[in-house]
Amino acid sequence: MLELTNVHTYYDKSHVLQNVSMEVGKGQIVGLLGRNGVGKSTTLKSIIGIVPPNSGSIRFKGAELVGLKSHQIARLGIGYVPEDRRIFPTLTVRQNLLMGMKPGKKGREDTGWSIEKVYHCFPRLRQRDSFKGATLSGGEQQLLTIGRTLMGDPQLILLDEPTEGLAPQIVETVVSVIEEIHRAGTSVLLVEQSMEVIMELAHAVLVMNKGEIVFKGMPDELRSRPDVVERYLEI
């Protein structure tokens, strides 16, 4: 479904992504692990077009994404949950969710994701329906960001550190929703520092260091490589 080939991305003169190649299959959860500052978030931003690659190819269902604007990429069926959440602070929870709908969807309840389905997955958001975004806790804002992205019915969702800084109970909720997303047939590229979350959810695991992919394999393969874990993941 998603294929990156020899992707190089720069911030000004800083060479962040260096020859990155990876794949996410249809209905697959792929975990991208690594310490802070190694290029994980830049990988997602390159895919969604916020930080366009300087060279290389990014293809989604066979279509080249490099050169497209972020809104064009989103309309092809890719959802993006940023690390900094970017909710609308002066809008209510319901209004934030409505902002995630694609043009022409018209809020149908019988197909794809709807407000009711999001509220079913996130009962806490139902309780906050009329609350302004700025009044929500950090965990509630994270749930709202994921829910807003799901309202666009993405075929592939990019999740950037969705459990960072959350209470254990909220982490469990986020993990269960990612499982629900997968059961619905949506592919997931999940960026995390938490090896435990990745090992619980992912079908395939990538480890990044200094803008390069240094490990590709199944979760069990990573468990059998303490050298990789110690060198690239432990703090």
- Kindly tell me the sign of the dihedral angle through the C-alpha atoms of 17, 35, 223, 60: negative
Domain extents in the chain = 2-232
- Per residue in 117-158, pLDDT (tens digit) is 999 989 999 999 999 999 999 889 999 999 999 999 999 999
Q: How far apart are CA 235 and CA 229, in angstroms?
A: 10
Low-confidence ranges of the chain (pLDDT < 50): 107-110
| Phi, psi of 110, rounded to the nearest 5 degrees | -95, -10
What is the predicted pLDDT for the residue at 104?
59
55: Cβ contacts below 8 Å, ≥ 6 apart? 6, 7, 8
Distance between the two ends of the chain, CA-based, in angstroms? 33
What is the predicted pLDDT for the residue at 190?
97
Cβ neighbourhood burial of 230 (10 Å; 0-12, 13-18, 19+) = exposed
- Looking at the domain 2-232, which fold is it? Rossmann fold (3.40.50)
Hey, what long-range contacts does 110-115 have (CB within 8 A, 24 or more apart)?
A: 111/153, 112/153, 113/150, 113/151, 113/152, 113/153, 114/151, 115/151
User: 213 has which bridge partners?
Assistant: 208
Strand-pair category, 2-11 with 14-24: antiparallel
pTM (predicted TM-score):
0.92
Distances (CA, A) of 206 to 31, 117, 179, 203: 6, 31, 19, 10
The 8-class DSSP code of residue 104 comes to T
Q: Is 118 helix (H, G, I), strand (E, B) or coil?
A: helix
- Per residue in 81-103, pLDDT (tens digit) is 998 888 999 999 999 999 998 76
